[in-house]
Chain A
């Protein structure tokens, strides 16, 4: 008996070393980075447990990733790190309904030799619904920190890609050493966009709509076939493994919704039309032009995540003697700006409970945009609901997230001052019970975040390694930008020996870099215009060839040399 006990005792030490479930990891940490405790108590704060449910001078306790107590007179555990919450406001961590946060954009698929454009391989056509976003998740992606910093704790991350990039997953915006540790739940959605294949079928909306119908119908048939074969294979032709169709099975069974990136009203309508025809559960993410769609959204039972991106407010001219025409045109333009910013309140009034999607928005603009939305009719509580409880409900995670209640996941935002005040700043964000602390300047000045889009030319000066693919093949080389006597100029070199070309009309404003160059194509001069966004060391652009109505993507990375 003693030996058995001894063996068991020894086993207790051996077994944990096999898996990486590291609750029993070695407790010594020479980096000193791991926290001293996994229990936190924030005291004497205004706790917004749910929209409209305030608790003043309250205390909240988080232990091992969960909220273990919320109240006014709480016993604070001995192991807790206590944070004085005086003048602080605590909110449930924000939930992002649809974004690419945490995912790294993969390289563009290489164009196969002898590409048969009417029927390209699925990966080239962008038809990869069987892919899972986890394959793209990188724990050190900048976007995770950027979104967490502004209060987001859970993101429904969808993969990059074209028409059917794959399935999305709910991830926690926490630190981790392996992507698996970020996953809250997988297969939350089948993601779809109106994004065509480069120069192959389906190339644009026309082909995408038809192809979608085709894929769906064939998935239904394939499912029937597989089920029939599984119940009794005798005399039935063997079904061939078809991963694309299989990816649709949970959708057909209504267990998984399709999330559409519906960035304009026509795209939203197209998605709803497909829903009416085929019957799947539809979620519209990134809805930017929803003001006419309330009835249709309700009649199709569509769920909605509104975009957090707003257009810039138009500036009217300051001239003294504006013509009547200019006055009228400015009025009309302002009218449309108002439509964008008031649509949130309008849809709310029409009875649509929506969440938010950050996929097209810049994290540095989010708070300002929310404040603008409040200015135009949506109440603070309603905005908070869209950020927390509505999103949780729409994503099916109300049981564990969205409010600050005992038993829910330890996702908190602790803000110095009420979040919806312009000058207030977020001091702490807890994700999965882990503390993240941010510098907050005392005084009235709001700190300019590093997210402010760079207009500083230093961001682009130097050499960039570019790559793009055309029917001719993949071309690589460098874009070199220099700033001599205040004149911005650039050159394009090619690694295949093509002579250098000057870049013209170079413009760099608010993170957007654009330029033109001309090339000699068999004696004819062809203009190519490149427009794109600089994000740190990455440049994502689209090149358009004037006379031929043709575009192709260009990617470039800054030379660290």
Chain B
């Protein structure tokens, strides 16, 4: 090739590389994790096995792999290597949780309020968590859209945390939370009857909206007038068409059953119940519908609707063929989800793999990202957590956490102060003591107090 053409070609290539580097904003890494006990979830547990990561993906799992030039080696001898943990119900990394002023807010989205500066993100990484489902709160019957994130700590740009390609999901809520909201605002719903009515009414409105817009689009006239646009109804239509996965906060067996019937009536097939403390009572129905459940390990009794719970919930559901995950709904619990999953061996008899699937493959399925994460398989994202003991042991301490093959947590290099933003006007020793159990972050900012009582001194 003539020199001048070579120069042109290489500058063209340089330009191409530069632009593609700009587009590929998420960091991707290479690493060879050697000689650990590899818990794949889908293909058994392999001893003395290596995992090779190239450009953020799992390239090979096998024995005696060699590290290509420049690839860092991590010695995992005596350690346990598992897929990064996925928390299907989280409220860390968000600046607002509830748009609680209306009972239907399908148009709002948590992607607008992602907060990459929350130290809780690092603390979750230190617990082996690599992805979270940042959810809208549970103040509304039809809440806002959630956002699936990867915990790429260190950036100040919310976009860097986005789990690119993850399906859209949305939060629904049944039971005491929305009805309490209705009662405090003097609007519907104030009972579980009202909750069902609101769901059906909104879906019917969405169908009407869809018809009107379909008619407009198929109208060939150049002088057609568009119907009113509603971001809310657009989202509801997307739910009807199966493009948005519904995750519904629910507790009582009867309301879980109700939602499945409503979804059957409207032809919506995919559904995950969140918390679902009484899901075990309708496990056969859930299995038949094909709905999944994302539950607590053992929280109960903090509200009336969870008074009749059992910690054996996850075990019962799993034994009855319902895809189940265990979530945290808490910035504290997320740091030891591996311990929460292990409780299914106390409250039930789940096998090691079944228990670990509750925090890896199963939540991945519920979020529609199981083609990318949730197990250690060739071709999947290199979201990996390494422990010094079997993760289901109480004595396990997370050692390293990788997202896209990049190491974001290493216990050997764990500086105490991980904050990426510090208020210059804050005091240096800023002590915060939280006295109450952070159970219902789901209701944060939902303004559900009854103020008529509050100011009525007479």
Contacts and interface: CB of A to CB of B under 8 A. Distances in A.
B191 interface: no
Nearest to A235: B223
A457 interface: no
Nearest to B103: A118
Contacts of A517: none
B11 interface: no
A314 B225 contact: no
Contacts of A112: none
A199 B417 contact: no
Interface of A: 114, 116-119, 197, 199-207, 209-211, 213-214, 217-218, 221, 224-225, 228, 232, 235-237, 239, 265-266, 269-270, 273, 292, 296, 311-314, 317, 325-326, 328-330, 332-337, 340, 470-472, 475, 497-499, 519-522, 526, 545, 547-550
B447 interface: yes
Contacts of A311: 423-425
Contacts of A336: 421-424
Nearest to A116: B187
Contact of A205 (B96, B186, B458): B96
Contacts of B223: 228, 232, 235-236
A210 B424 contact: no
A123 B87 CA distance: 41
Interface residues of B, number: 58
Contacts of B101: 117-118, 197, 199-203, 207
B365 interface: no
A211 B112 CA distance: 12
Given A209-B108, A314-B424, A117 B102 contact: yes
B437 interface: no
A527 B157 CA distance: 37
B278 interface: no
The main secondary structure of chain B at its interface with chain A is loop
Interface of B: 95-96, 98-105, 107-110, 112-113, 115, 136, 144, 156-158, 185-187, 223, 225-226, 228-232, 416-417, 419, 421-426, 428-429, 444-449, 451-458
Nearest to A523: B453
Contacts of B426: 333
Contacts of B417: 328-329, 332
A527 to B, nearest CB: 12
A337 B424 contact: yes
A203 B99 contact: yes
Nearest to A497: B458
B456 A204 contact: no
B421 A119 contact: no
Given A312-B425, A336-B422, A498-B457, A471 B102 contact: no
Contacts of B109: 206, 209-210
9 contacts: A197-B101, A201-B101, A210-B99, A217-B231, A312-B425, A329-B417, A330-B428, A521-B453, A550-B447
B424 A333 contact: yes
A499 B228 CA distance: 51
Q: Which of B101, B144, B157, B454 has the most CB of A within 10 A?
A: B101
B414 to A, nearest CB: 14
Contacts of B96: 204-206
B231 A519 contact: no
Nearest to B100: A203
Contacts of B95: 205, 266
Contacts of B225: 225, 228, 236-237, 239
A472 B423 CA distance: 36
A499 B100 CA distance: 33
A206 B136 contact: yes
Contacts of B136: 206
Contacts of A545: 449, 454
Contacts of A330: 428
Contact of B99 (A119, A207, A218, A237): A207
Contacts of B454: 470, 472, 519, 521, 526, 545
A204 B99 contact: yes
A519 B457 contact: yes
A119 B187 CA distance: 11
Contacts of A199: 101, 447
Given A200-B101, A224-B226, A266-B158, A206 B108 contact: yes
Contacts of B422: 332-333, 335-336
A520 B421 CA distance: 39
A118 B102 contact: yes
A258 B419 CA distance: 33
A471 B452 contact: yes
Nearest to B445: A549
Given A214-B229, A312-B425, A499 B457 contact: yes
B99 A202 contact: yes
A328 to B, nearest CB: 7
A519 B98 CA distance: 27
A496 B454 CA distance: 15
A497 B100 CA distance: 33
Contacts of A217: 229, 231
A405 B211 CA distance: 63
A19 to B, nearest CB: 44
A118 B104 CA distance: 8
A329 B428 contact: yes
Q: Which of A210, A232, A269 has the most CB of B within 10 A?
A: A210
A326 B226 contact: no
A521 B95 CA distance: 30
Contacts of B102: 117-119, 201, 207
A527 B100 CA distance: 22
Q: Which of A200, A312, A336 has the most CB of B within 10 A?
A: A336
Contacts of B449: 545, 547-548, 550
Nearest to A337: B424
Nearest to B117: A266
A131 to B, nearest CB: 22
A326 B428 contact: yes
Given A471-B451, A472-B454, A266 B425 contact: no
Contacts of A471: 451-452
A198 to B, nearest CB: 10
A526 B419 CA distance: 34
Contacts of A292: 156-157
A334 B428 CA distance: 10
Given A206-B109, A333-B426, A214 B447 contact: no
Contacts of A526: 454
Q: Which of A206, A292, A312 has the most CB of B within 10 A?
A: A206
Given A202-B101, A340-B424, A521-B453, A117 B230 contact: no
B418 to A, nearest CB: 11
Contacts of B186: 114
Contacts of B428: 317, 326, 329-330, 333
Nearest to B137: A206
A207 B144 CA distance: 9
Contacts of A232: 223
B157 A273 contact: no
A213 B235 CA distance: 13
Contacts of A207: 99, 101-102, 105, 108
A522 B454 CA distance: 7
B67 to A, nearest CB: 34
A111 to B, nearest CB: 11
A460 B95 CA distance: 35
A333 B423 CA distance: 7
Contacts of A197: 101
Contacts of B100: 203
Contacts of A116: 187
A235 B98 CA distance: 44
A116 B232 CA distance: 18
